[in-house]
Amino acid sequence: MTAALLGSAPSCDTPELPAELQGRIAFFSAPTDVAEAARARFVALYGDAAPEEAVVLVALGGDGFMLEMQHRFLGRNLPIYGMNCGSVGFLMNAFHEDDLLPRLRAAQAAMLHPLRMRALDAAGQMQEALAINEVSLLRETRQAAKIRILVDGKERLAELICDGILVSTPAGSTAYNLSAHGPIVPLGANLLPMTPISAFRPRRWRGALLPGEAVVMFQVLEPGKRPVAAVADYVEVRDVRSVEVREDRTVRLTLLFDPDHSLSERIIAEQFTV
């Protein structure tokens, strides 16, 4: 699955980085030979700050590694500049070694917010997690899931029979959501795609676009016969009874992109890929 971000309207302002960046950048690499070798060269050129002393983080890898970095530094809102040493690189900038400092100073910021999942399990325990891509409900056995859907406390679908369903962030709409035939959503749209996964009944229902402020509640029907798991990025909760999903605007993430290759532009371009 392609890693992606969630989000609300992005900022296109240049981030306020100090004039002197040498020795104030923390470099991180994915556990691959290519990424680790690139990190060693960058550290030799620019130094390597401890994360608690850095003003910007540079992630060397692919989209999956960028997702790991965002989770690792959630709550600190340190700007992260990714450089593609992986395969897809949807969230990454092009890889160059010799012009990093001017690229960081010219970079544009995308301010994003995660989804918060609150899942009630079979033992009556409420478990919470943040999702940067999407929150998905998935059947655990051969039996299709049966799920009731409420939005802002109002029932919208009394019964969905399916393999699963997900709520995506706008930038995350290019990841699992797109693979499940959900719509791609521009970052500034303030919309959350809700997309069924292999819906059996109602067979023609293709999902919904919800306001960014919406609170979604999924209630699992017949949980003993049709157990369902809830997944928020890396966190999986088995045998859930209900799952609440909403955007958490108290948590921010900042990604940096070269001006000619912003995240908003990539999301638009993805819709014209054939």
Query: What residues are labeled active site?
Result: 63
The answer to the question of whether 178 is labelled as a binding residue is yes
Q: Reduce the DSSP state of residue 198 to 3 states and report it.
A: coil
Q: Is residue 222 marked as binding?
A: no
Q: Annotated binding residue at 179?
A: yes
The reply, when asked if residue 134 is annotated as ligand binding, is: yes
For residue 77, list its beta bridge partners.
Answer: none
* Size (the chain), residues: 274
Check whether 63 is labelled as a binding-site residue: yes
Would you say 174 is a known binding-site residue?
yes
Take residue 112 and report the two structure tokens written for it.
Answer: 């994003």
Assigned token pair, 132? 């940067």
Instruction: Tokens for 161, please give them.
Output: 């029979």
Ligand-binding site membership of 64 (annotated): yes
Rounded to whole angstroms, the Cα distance separating 106 from 102 reads 6
Is 190 flagged in the annotation as binding? Answer: no
Instruction: State the pairing for strand pair 80-84/253-257.
Output: parallel
Q: How many CB atoms lie within 10 A of CB 157?
A: 17
Does residue 103 contact residue 79 with C-beta atoms inside 8 Å?
A: no
Residues 61 and 84: their CA atoms lie apart, in Å, by 5
* Pure H helices in 47-149: 63-72, 100-106
CA distance 189 to 191: 5
**194, 157 Cβ separation under 8 angstroms:** no
At 33, list the tokens.
């030979």
Residues 188, 147: Cα–Cα separation, whole Å: 30
Helices of type H across 12-83: 33-46, 63-72
152 is an annotated ligand-binding site residue:
no
Is residue 8 part of an annotated ligand binding site?
no
Helix (H) or strand (E) holding 14: none
**Which segments are annotated as binding site for NAD(+)?**
63-64, 133-134, 163, 171, 174-179
Annotated binding residues, as ranges? 63-64, 133-134, 163, 171, 174-179
